[in-house]
Protein backbone atom coordinates (compact mmCIF):
# COMPACT_ATOMS: atom_id res chain seq x y z
CA UNK A 1 0.00 0.00 0.00
CA UNK A 2 1.12 3.51 -0.78
CA UNK A 3 0.55 6.49 1.53
CA UNK A 4 -2.71 8.44 1.60
CA UNK A 5 -1.93 11.00 -1.10
CA UNK A 6 -4.56 13.48 0.07
CA UNK A 7 -3.04 13.44 3.55
CA UNK A 8 0.45 13.81 2.10
CA UNK A 9 -0.63 16.82 0.02
CA UNK A 10 -2.26 18.39 3.07
CA UNK A 11 0.95 18.09 5.12
CA UNK A 12 3.07 19.47 2.28
CA UNK A 13 0.66 22.39 1.97
CA UNK A 14 1.05 23.06 5.70
CA UNK A 15 4.83 22.96 5.28
CA UNK A 16 4.39 25.54 2.52
CA UNK A 17 2.94 27.89 5.13
CA UNK A 18 6.26 27.83 6.99
CA UNK A 19 7.99 29.09 3.84
CA UNK A 20 5.27 31.62 2.98
CA UNK A 21 5.51 33.17 6.43
CA UNK A 22 9.31 33.12 6.54
CA UNK A 23 11.12 36.28 7.44
CA UNK A 24 14.61 35.53 6.27
CA UNK A 25 17.55 37.42 7.78
CA UNK A 26 21.23 37.16 6.68
CA UNK A 27 22.29 35.32 9.84
CA UNK A 28 19.82 32.54 9.02
CA UNK A 29 21.74 31.69 5.83
CA UNK A 30 24.90 29.61 5.67
CA UNK A 31 26.89 27.93 2.94
CA UNK A 32 27.29 24.16 2.67
CA UNK A 33 29.73 22.70 0.14
CA UNK A 34 30.58 26.06 -1.44
CA UNK A 35 29.56 29.71 -1.60
CA UNK A 36 27.05 28.74 -4.33
CA UNK A 37 25.45 26.02 -2.20
CA UNK A 38 23.33 27.68 0.48
CA UNK A 39 20.94 26.57 3.18
CA UNK A 40 18.65 28.56 5.46
CA UNK A 41 16.94 28.07 8.79
CA UNK A 42 13.74 27.38 6.84
CA UNK A 43 15.15 24.47 4.85
CA UNK A 44 15.81 22.77 8.18
CA UNK A 45 12.50 23.82 9.73
CA UNK A 46 10.46 22.51 6.80
CA UNK A 47 12.39 19.25 6.82
CA UNK A 48 11.91 18.79 10.59
CA UNK A 49 8.19 19.52 10.24
CA UNK A 50 7.77 16.97 7.44
CA UNK A 51 9.85 14.36 9.21
CA UNK A 52 7.84 14.59 12.43
CA UNK A 53 4.46 14.52 10.64
CA UNK A 54 5.48 11.60 8.41
CA UNK A 55 6.85 9.68 11.36
CA UNK A 56 3.57 10.17 13.25
CA UNK A 57 1.46 8.95 10.35
CA UNK A 58 3.75 6.46 8.61
CA UNK A 59 6.24 5.29 11.25
CA UNK A 60 7.34 2.24 9.25
CA UNK A 61 8.69 4.36 6.41
CA UNK A 62 12.24 5.68 6.31
CA UNK A 63 12.71 9.45 6.01
CA UNK A 64 15.56 10.94 4.04
CA UNK A 65 15.93 14.68 3.50
CA UNK A 66 18.58 16.86 1.89
CA UNK A 67 19.46 18.67 5.11
CA UNK A 68 20.25 15.55 7.11
CA UNK A 69 23.86 15.23 8.22
CA UNK A 70 24.19 11.65 7.01
CA UNK A 71 22.31 10.08 4.13
CA UNK A 72 20.90 6.57 4.31
CA UNK A 73 19.14 5.48 1.16
CA UNK A 74 16.36 2.96 1.72
CA UNK A 75 14.19 1.08 -0.76
CA UNK A 76 11.04 2.09 1.08
CA UNK A 77 10.48 5.59 2.40
CA UNK A 78 10.34 9.31 1.73
CA UNK A 79 12.93 11.19 -0.30
CA UNK A 80 12.54 14.88 0.51
CA UNK A 81 13.88 18.23 -0.57
CA UNK A 82 12.41 20.72 1.93
CA UNK A 83 13.20 23.69 -0.34
CA UNK A 84 14.26 23.10 -3.93
CA UNK A 85 15.44 26.40 -5.34
CA UNK A 86 16.98 27.71 -2.12
CA UNK A 87 19.00 30.37 -3.95
CA UNK A 88 15.77 31.74 -5.44
CA UNK A 89 14.20 31.71 -1.97
CA UNK A 90 17.15 33.62 -0.50
CA UNK A 91 17.20 36.29 -3.19
CA UNK A 92 13.42 36.72 -3.28
CA UNK A 93 12.82 35.13 -6.67
CA UNK A 94 9.39 33.55 -6.19
CA UNK A 95 10.23 30.20 -7.76
CA UNK A 96 10.96 27.35 -5.31
CA UNK A 97 9.13 24.35 -3.94
CA UNK A 98 8.88 21.48 -1.52
CA UNK A 99 9.53 18.11 -3.15
CA UNK A 100 8.46 14.78 -1.63
CA UNK A 101 8.79 11.37 -3.29
CA UNK A 102 7.47 8.10 -1.89
CA UNK A 103 9.57 5.03 -2.68
CA UNK A 104 8.56 1.36 -2.63
CA UNK A 105 11.14 -1.29 -3.47
CA UNK A 106 13.45 1.43 -4.73
CA UNK A 107 10.86 2.79 -7.19
CA UNK A 108 9.12 6.16 -7.02
CA UNK A 109 5.42 5.44 -6.58
CA UNK A 110 4.07 8.84 -5.54
CA UNK A 111 5.35 12.38 -5.87
CA UNK A 112 4.30 15.82 -4.66
CA UNK A 113 5.92 19.12 -5.67
CA UNK A 114 4.45 22.27 -4.17
CA UNK A 115 5.24 25.91 -4.94
CA UNK A 116 3.67 27.84 -2.04
CA UNK A 117 4.12 31.25 -3.71
CA UNK A 118 1.61 30.53 -6.45
CA UNK A 119 -0.17 27.71 -4.61
CA UNK A 120 0.64 25.16 -7.32
CA UNK A 121 0.55 21.54 -6.22
CA UNK A 122 1.90 19.02 -8.72
CA UNK A 123 1.30 15.41 -7.82
CA UNK A 124 1.32 11.92 -9.28
CA UNK A 125 0.89 8.28 -8.45
CA UNK A 126 2.48 5.63 -10.61
CA UNK A 127 0.12 4.48 -13.36
CA UNK A 128 -2.50 7.07 -12.41
CA UNK A 129 -1.32 10.15 -14.31
CA UNK A 130 -0.06 13.46 -12.94
CA UNK A 131 -1.87 16.64 -11.99
CA UNK A 132 -1.42 20.34 -11.34
CA UNK A 133 -3.93 21.07 -8.58
CA UNK A 134 -7.02 19.40 -10.13
CA UNK A 135 -5.95 19.35 -13.78
CA UNK A 136 -4.47 16.34 -15.51
CA UNK A 137 -1.09 17.02 -17.10
CA UNK A 138 0.07 16.03 -20.55
CA UNK A 139 3.29 17.09 -22.21
CA UNK A 140 2.35 18.43 -25.69
CA UNK A 141 5.41 16.88 -27.40
CA UNK A 142 6.77 20.07 -28.95
CA UNK A 143 9.48 20.28 -31.58
CA UNK A 144 12.67 22.03 -30.38
CA UNK A 145 11.75 25.43 -31.77
CA UNK A 146 8.21 25.37 -30.41
CA UNK A 147 8.85 25.71 -26.65
CA UNK A 148 11.65 26.79 -24.32
CA UNK A 149 14.14 24.28 -22.95
CA UNK A 150 14.88 24.39 -19.21
CA UNK A 151 18.53 24.26 -18.22
CA UNK A 152 20.15 23.51 -14.89
CA UNK A 153 23.55 25.07 -14.44
CA UNK A 154 25.23 22.72 -11.93
CA UNK A 155 27.75 25.43 -10.92
CA UNK A 156 28.72 23.21 -7.98
CA UNK A 157 30.26 20.77 -10.42
CA UNK A 158 33.08 22.46 -12.41
CA UNK A 159 33.31 19.53 -14.86
CA UNK A 160 29.77 20.14 -16.02
CA UNK A 161 30.20 23.80 -17.01
CA UNK A 162 31.64 23.21 -20.47
CA UNK A 163 29.26 20.44 -21.64
CA UNK A 164 26.35 22.50 -20.30
CA UNK A 165 27.36 25.54 -22.33
CA UNK A 166 27.93 23.40 -25.42
CA UNK A 167 24.49 21.82 -25.20
CA UNK A 168 22.87 25.22 -24.59
CA UNK A 169 24.55 26.53 -27.75
CA UNK A 170 23.18 23.61 -29.79
CA UNK A 171 19.67 24.12 -28.42
CA UNK A 172 19.81 27.86 -29.13
CA UNK A 173 20.55 27.28 -32.79
CA UNK A 174 16.93 26.15 -33.10
CA UNK A 175 15.15 27.11 -29.91
CA UNK A 176 15.49 29.03 -26.66
CA UNK A 177 16.39 28.23 -23.07
CA UNK A 178 15.37 29.13 -19.49
CA UNK A 179 17.36 28.71 -16.29
CA UNK A 180 14.74 28.82 -13.55
CA UNK A 181 16.70 27.37 -10.61
CA UNK A 182 14.56 24.53 -9.26
CA UNK A 183 15.06 21.07 -10.73
CA UNK A 184 11.81 19.75 -9.26
CA UNK A 185 9.79 22.57 -10.83
CA UNK A 186 11.72 22.21 -14.09
CA UNK A 187 10.47 18.63 -14.33
CA UNK A 188 6.91 19.67 -13.46
CA UNK A 189 7.05 22.42 -16.07
CA UNK A 190 8.01 19.84 -18.69
CA UNK A 191 5.07 17.71 -17.53
CA UNK A 192 2.69 20.63 -18.09
CA UNK A 193 4.34 21.89 -21.30
CA UNK A 194 5.46 25.25 -19.87
CA UNK A 195 8.88 24.00 -20.91
CA UNK A 196 9.42 21.56 -23.75
CA UNK A 197 12.35 19.88 -22.02
CA UNK A 198 14.95 20.20 -19.28
CA UNK A 199 18.50 18.99 -18.73
CA UNK A 200 21.14 19.24 -16.02
CA UNK A 201 24.54 17.55 -15.75
CA UNK A 202 24.74 17.13 -11.96
CA UNK A 203 21.69 16.90 -9.75
CA UNK A 204 20.79 15.02 -6.57
CA UNK A 205 18.07 12.39 -6.07
CA UNK A 206 15.94 14.52 -3.68
CA UNK A 207 15.79 17.31 -6.30
CA UNK A 208 14.41 15.08 -9.03
CA UNK A 209 12.63 12.04 -7.53
CA UNK A 210 9.09 13.46 -7.24
CA UNK A 211 9.33 15.51 -10.45
CA UNK A 212 10.59 12.50 -12.38
CA UNK A 213 7.39 10.56 -11.68
CA UNK A 214 5.21 13.62 -12.36
CA UNK A 215 6.96 14.12 -15.71
CA UNK A 216 6.77 10.47 -16.76
CA UNK A 217 3.11 10.23 -15.85
CA UNK A 218 2.53 13.16 -18.24
CA UNK A 219 4.23 11.35 -21.14
CA UNK A 220 7.70 12.85 -20.74
CA UNK A 221 10.78 10.74 -21.44
CA UNK A 222 13.25 10.99 -18.54
CA UNK A 223 16.74 9.50 -18.52
CA UNK A 224 20.29 10.52 -17.70
CA UNK A 225 22.19 12.40 -20.41
CA UNK A 226 23.51 8.98 -21.52
CA UNK A 227 20.05 7.53 -21.96
CA UNK A 228 20.15 5.49 -18.73
CA UNK A 229 17.71 5.23 -15.84
CA UNK A 230 18.61 8.05 -13.38
CA UNK A 231 19.92 6.52 -10.14
CA UNK A 232 18.16 7.53 -6.90
CA UNK A 233 21.14 7.01 -4.63
CA UNK A 234 23.73 9.43 -6.00
CA UNK A 235 24.28 12.59 -8.04
CA UNK A 236 23.21 12.11 -11.64
CA UNK A 237 22.66 13.90 -14.92
CA UNK A 238 19.12 14.27 -16.20
CA UNK A 239 17.34 14.81 -19.50
CA UNK A 240 13.56 15.17 -19.62
CA UNK A 241 11.57 16.03 -22.74
CA UNK A 242 8.62 15.06 -24.86
CA UNK A 243 9.51 12.35 -27.41
CA UNK A 244 10.27 14.76 -30.29
CA UNK A 245 12.57 17.03 -28.31
CA UNK A 246 14.14 14.06 -26.55
CA UNK A 247 15.10 12.48 -29.89
CA UNK A 248 16.66 15.76 -31.02
CA UNK A 249 18.81 16.17 -27.89
CA UNK A 250 19.79 12.49 -28.01
CA UNK A 251 21.03 13.15 -31.51
CA UNK A 252 23.00 16.25 -30.41
CA UNK A 253 24.72 14.34 -27.62
CA UNK A 254 25.11 11.15 -29.64
CA UNK A 255 24.16 8.46 -27.15
P1 LIG B 1 18.46 23.19 -4.00
O2 LIG B 1 17.83 24.48 -4.24
O3 LIG B 1 17.66 22.22 -3.24
O4 LIG B 1 19.82 23.37 -3.38
C5 LIG B 1 19.56 24.38 -9.55
O6 LIG B 1 20.33 24.10 -10.70
C7 LIG B 1 19.29 23.09 -8.87
O8 LIG B 1 20.52 22.54 -8.36
C9 LIG B 1 18.35 23.19 -7.70
O10 LIG B 1 17.41 22.17 -7.82
C11 LIG B 1 19.29 23.03 -6.51
O12 LIG B 1 18.66 22.44 -5.40
C13 LIG B 1 20.33 22.09 -7.04
N14 LIG B 1 21.56 22.06 -6.26
C15 LIG B 1 21.93 22.85 -5.24
N16 LIG B 1 23.13 22.51 -4.73
C17 LIG B 1 23.56 21.47 -5.45
C18 LIG B 1 24.74 20.66 -5.43
N19 LIG B 1 25.72 20.88 -4.54
N20 LIG B 1 24.86 19.67 -6.34
C21 LIG B 1 23.89 19.46 -7.24
N22 LIG B 1 22.74 20.19 -7.32
C23 LIG B 1 22.57 21.18 -6.44
CA1 LIG C 1 17.08 21.97 -1.12
Please provide the distance, in angstroms rounded to a whole number, between the alpha carbons at the two ends of the chain.
Answer: 37
Instruction: Give the Å distance between the CA of 247 and the centre of ligand 1.
Output: 26
**Which residues make beta-bridge pairs with 40?**
29
What is the number of the ligand closest to the CA of 44? 2
Residues 43 and 121 in one domain: yes
CATH number, domain containing residue 128: 3.30.540.10
Cβ atoms of 98 and 113 within 8 Å: the answer is: yes
Could you list the residue range(s) of the whole structural domain that residue 243 is in? 144-253
Residues 127 and 186 in one domain: no
Q: What is the pLDDT of residues 119-176, one digit of tens each?
A: 999 999 999 999 999 999 999 999 999 999 999 987 788 899 999 999 999 999 999 9
Q: Domains in the chain: how many in total?
A: 2
Which residue, 87, 108, 136, sits at the end of a domain? 136
Residues 126 and 170 in one domain: no
Whole-prediction pTM value? Answer: 0.97
Q: Mean per-residue pLDDT for 17-38?
A: 91
87 SS3 class: helix
Residues 174 and 89 in one domain: no
Instruction: Give the Å distance between the CA of 106 and the centre of ligand 1.
Output: 22
Q: What is the pLDDT of residues 76-85, one digit of tens each?
A: 999 999 999 9
Which atom of ligand 1 has the smallest separation from the CA of 207? Answer: 10
Give the burial string for 91-106 (b: 16+ CB within 10 Å, else e): eeeeebbbbbbbbbee
Confidence grade of residue 37 (pLDDT, cut at 50, 70, 90)? confident
Instruction: Give the Å distance between the CA of 40 and the centre of ligand 1.
Output: 14
CA distance 190 to 185: 9
Amino acid sequence: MFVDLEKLKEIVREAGEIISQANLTPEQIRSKTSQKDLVTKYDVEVQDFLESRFQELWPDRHFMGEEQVEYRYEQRGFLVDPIDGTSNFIFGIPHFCISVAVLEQGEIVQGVVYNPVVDEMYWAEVGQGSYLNGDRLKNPDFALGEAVFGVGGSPYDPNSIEPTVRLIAKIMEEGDIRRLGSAALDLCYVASGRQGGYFEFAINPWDIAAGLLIAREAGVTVTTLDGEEPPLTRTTSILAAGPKMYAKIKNFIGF
